[in-house]
Amino acid sequence: MSKEIKEPREARAIDHAVLPVESLKEARERLSALGFTVAPDGVHPFGTENACVYFADGTFLEPLAIAQREDCEATAQEGNVFTARDQAFRFRCGENGFSAVAFASDDAKRDQKAFRKAGFSAGKKLKFKRKFTDAKGKSSNAAFRLAFAGDLRAPDAFFFTCERVAQPKVDRSPLESHANSVTGIREIILSEPNPTDFQYLLQEAVNNRGDEVHSFGLEISAANGLLNVMTPEGLTAWFGVNRSGEGRGLRFEGMILTVRMLSTIRRVLDEHGITHREMHNRVIVDPAPGQGLFLAFQEEAAA
């Protein structure tokens, strides 16, 4: 009897980061001051709203606010994982933060089955549609299917795959050009006192069995970037920041963004009076209202 030959895994690509904020107005003001072009507001059918920052590499940031609290609470009670996790994050961690990372997918149903089989499913799939509006005001419908992964030991962080069931027929390129010269996401930074306790969750989320343990934690490669889980000591040594909150569990802390020139981001930050520092050839900005994570800017040539 021949043995079944398993296909090698293909690592998923980072799609976007979910950033809870108190209001889109506050997030838009802060992100604009950092030199980002912010897209028009988008409204979800389950009570949340966003104002995204899109990058030329296909990734983006999703500042997420509450549009209709009653709808968020009702859908969470009905089993909507997205709103339930958002409500839980805000209750535990406040209105500004970094709650989730989404990976691109061409089959969320398949992902859901894989998460369930591995013991990391965070709940039932979610399918929805919303309008997308480009920089010129042109709108088109977009539809998505999401599959969720999580670990009960890490209530403040979750992952999901995002399948685009219908693509909006709009030009996103003007929204991908930024005054600070940012071109994309290079690295997602998480923290946990013992990072290897969560290696299996990360492997399933990224769909990559390989990881690399280093002196301050572990790294796992996505198709287009890196997830780096660092100890509190590692966060301080490499970014000059402290771990958010106390206790155990994965937490998203920040990210490294690539820029064409560090001189450009320095100029933008100085013009807007935003405090920053430099460590390991990166310009680092600490979290602030409307920006719930630290941002480290690194030149593409040094990446």
Q: So what's the pLDDT on residue 3?
A: 42
Say how far apart CA 216 and CA 15 lie, in whole Å.
26
Task: Encode pLDDT of 155-169 as tens digits.
Answer: 999 999 999 987 777
Domains belonging to the chain, first-starting first, are 14-171 (3.10.180.10), 182-302 (3.10.180.10)
Joined tokens for residue 29:
């003001």
Q: So what's the pLDDT on residue 219?
A: 97
Number of H helices, E strands in the chain: 7, 17
What pTM, to 2 d.p., does this model score? 0.93
Q: So what's the pLDDT on residue 38?
A: 97
Please state whether beta strands 100-105 and 14-20 pair in parallel, antiparallel, or not at all (unpaired): antiparallel
Q: So what's the pLDDT on residue 141?
A: 80
C-alpha count within 13 angstroms, C-beta hemisphere, residue 120: 25
Joined tokens for residue 11:
């690592």
CA distances from residue 186 to 55, 147, 192 in whole angstroms, order as listed = 11, 23, 20
Residue 164's identity, in one-letter code, is R
Say how far apart CA 187 and CA 182 lie, in whole Å.
13
What is the mean predicted confidence (pLDDT) over 221-238? Answer: 97
Task: Encode pLDDT of 141-158 as tens digits.
Answer: 888 999 999 999 999 999
Q: Lowest-confidence range among 36-40, 42-46, 170-174, 247-251?
A: 170-174
| Greatest extent of the chain over all pairs of C-alpha atoms, in Å | 70
Q: Lowest-confidence range among 28-32, 137-141, 156-160, 230-234?
A: 137-141
Q: So what's the pLDDT on residue 168?
A: 74
Say how far apart CA 198 and CA 194 lie, in whole Å.
8
What is the mean predicted confidence (pLDDT) over 117-144? Answer: 84
Q: Name the E strands within the chain.
A: 14-20, 42-43, 48-50, 53-54, 60-66, 100-105, 126-133, 139-149, 158-166, 182-191, 212-214, 217-221, 226-230, 251-259, 277-279, 282-285, 294-299
Contact between 132 and 55 under an 8 Å Cβ cutoff? The reply is no
Confidence of residue 17 (pLDDT cuts 50, 70, 90): very high
Say how far apart CA 165 and CA 133 lie, in whole Å.
17
Task: Encode pLDDT of 178-216 as tens digits.
Answer: 999 999 999 999 999 999 999 999 999 999 998 888 889
Please state whether beta strands 42-43 and 48-50 pair in parallel, antiparallel, or not at all (unpaired): antiparallel
Task: Encode pLDDT of 232-260 as tens digits.
Answer: 999 999 999 999 988 999 999 999 999 99
Say how far apart CA 258 and CA 138 lie, in whole Å.
29
Confidence of residue 140 (pLDDT cuts 50, 70, 90): confident
Confidence of residue 172 (pLDDT cuts 50, 70, 90): confident
First to last CA, the chain: 48
Contact between 24 and 50 under an 8 Å Cβ cutoff? The reply is yes
Joined tokens for residue 280:
């390991």
Q: Lowest-confidence range among 122-126, 163-167, 290-294?
A: 163-167
DSSP 291: B
Say how far apart CA 256 and CA 102 lie, in whole Å.
16
Q: So what's the pLDDT on residue 7?
A: 56
Give the DSSP per-residue string, 114-176.
HHHHHT-B-S--EEEEEEEE-TTS-EEEEEEEEEEE--TT-TT-EEEEEEEEE---S--GGGG
Residue 161 pairs with which residues in a beta bridge?
103, 147
Q: Above 70 in pLDDT, residue 225? A: yes
Task: Encode pLDDT of 45-94 as tens digits.
Answer: 999 999 999 999 999 999 999 999 999 999 999 999 999 999 999 999 99
Q: So what's the pLDDT on residue 51?
A: 96
Joined tokens for residue 78:
């009905």
Q: Across all residues in the chain, what is the average pLDDT?
A: 93
